[in-house]
Structure 1
Amino acid sequence: MSRPRTPRRPDVTTLDLVGGPEALAIELHPADERWPGRYLDHRRRIQDALAPADVDIEHIGSTSVPGLAAKPIIDIVVTVDDITAEEDYLDPLLAAGYELRVREPGHRLVRTPERDVHVHLFERGDPAVDEYLLLLRDHLRSDADDRALYEDTKRALLSRRWDDMNDYADAKTDVIVAIKARARAARGQ
């Protein structure tokens, strides 16, 4: 049974990076056939925590692309009805053992204490979700050249020292933007 929907309230306006910057000490691992199973385990955990809420849950990121080397971190996107109604999703996920890492406009991120699963929460209909799913994940699954480019870029970047994982993610932006542009062109957008 769903709770009665309360009026939408203003979202946060700044980035809250819980715990501050973290040094990145991760390397790429060859594609691992266990990653989809780990995703499914956390999908069930998230569904159980958020039942009976109406949420969509998808495996995103490099571990969702067969054959792509990746940091061994399972990325999951969850869409909720109202990102500002944190009591509907954040409290249950924290009770299920996830920890809050990021609170920013339109996006929350919780993760496991081991930091090996990241759960990105967005409001249903947020364009970022299609960016993750259709323009990046699905395109990389079907385009070997862009998959190789993305992997080569990650390898080159991970050969450097990063004081914060977010800086590493930002350094991939130009390549990701180019890949998404090709994905849009392939889709006729």
Structure 2
Amino acid sequence: MSATHPLWRPFELADLDAVAAVRVDATPQPPVEVVAPDPAWPDQYAVVERRLRAALGDRVLAVQHVGSTAVPGLPAKPVIDVDLVVADPADEAAWLPDLEAAGFVLRVREPDWEEHRMLRGADPVSNVHVFGPGATEPRRHVLFRDHLRADPADRAAYGSFKQRIASERSFADAMDYNNHKAALVYDLYERALAADPAHPHEPHPRTAGPS
């Protein structure tokens, strides 16, 4: 039997109708834009982290800069992605009002996906993904980030692919854009999982999606 990393997830595309159903705030967003790497992104993340910690104090169990803006030299959407861990995302009364008072707007509520919530921040624009202590997704994000930081070839391939698909068409929905890069992201995750010295992993071929 082949070894499987505990953070492995099978390949799948997002159901855009299901995504729309979990949006709390459906305010239209600007079309997806992929821009050149900005050395200011880490400082922008620091601004968001300070706001989160000021709003929640010791209710912040963990906070990480994730996504492409967390990888130096990688083109990205100019949106700071943050993973925030609180004791219980489902207990919104314990954390959400304070984040809203700090200017963050709840946009997504997904109780069926590790109790995920996503809030939008401004100046700098940020997506704050809220999870609980047992969630696997924040660990996947850190592993993916760290792999791209350490692997120049995969970082370059991912960056050029994102720039190409964003230039070829206008994506009004970020999740539609994510679907168009999902096959490559899966393959990059497979390499990241296989390279993790803590867990053996034999890559699993995709069962759907383009080569």
* 1:151 aligned partner: 159
* 1:102 aligned partner: 108
RMSD of equivalent CA atoms: 2.0
1:117 equivalent among 126, 129, 132: 126
Q: Which amino acid aligns with 2:61?
A: V
* Aligned 8 A contact 1:18 1:101 in 2: yes
Partner of 2:58, secondary structure, is coil
Offset, 1:54: 4.2
* Aligned 8 A contact 1:21 1:165 in 2: no
Q: Deviations over 1:85-139 (max 9, x none)?
A: 11122111111001111111221000124681110101112111111001x1000
Q: Deviations over 1:143-184 (max 9, x none)?
A: 111111211221122121223122112222111111011011
Q: Deviations over 1:46-82 (max 9, x none)?
A: 0010113142000001110011111111110001111
* 1:169 aligned partner: 178
1:66 equivalent among 69, 72, 76: 72
1:56 equivalent among 62, 84, 87: 62
In the alignment, structure 1 residue 182 sits paired with structure 2 residue 191? yes
CA separation in 1, counterparts of 2:173 and 2:36? Answer: 23
* 1:80 aligned partner: 86
Unaligned residue ranges in structure 2 (runs of 5+): 1-18, 202-211
Query: Residues 71 and 51 of structure 1: is their aligned pair in 2 closer, same or farther, counting only changes over 3 Å?
Result: same
Partner of 2:64, secondary structure, is strand
In the alignment, structure 1 residue 44 sits paired with structure 2 residue 53? no
Q: Which amino acid aligns with 2:109?
A: R
What is the TM-score of this pair, normalised by structure 2?
0.77
Q: Which amino acid aligns with 1:88?
A: A
Unaligned residue ranges in structure 1 (runs of 5+): 1-13
CA separation in 2, counterparts of 1:50 and 1:23? Answer: 27
Offset, 1:29: 1.9
Query: Residues 67 and 179 of structure 1: is their aligned pair in 2 closer, same or farther, counting only changes over 3 Å?
Result: same
Q: Give me the identity figure in percent.
A: 38
In the alignment, structure 1 residue 31 sits paired with structure 2 residue 37? yes
Q: Which amino acid aligns with 1:76?
A: V
Runs (4 or more) in structure 1 with deviation over 4 Å come to none
Q: Which amino acid aligns with 2:100?
A: L
How many aligned residue pairs are there?
176
1:131 equivalent among 140, 144, 155: 140
* Aligned 8 A contact 1:22 1:165 in 2: no
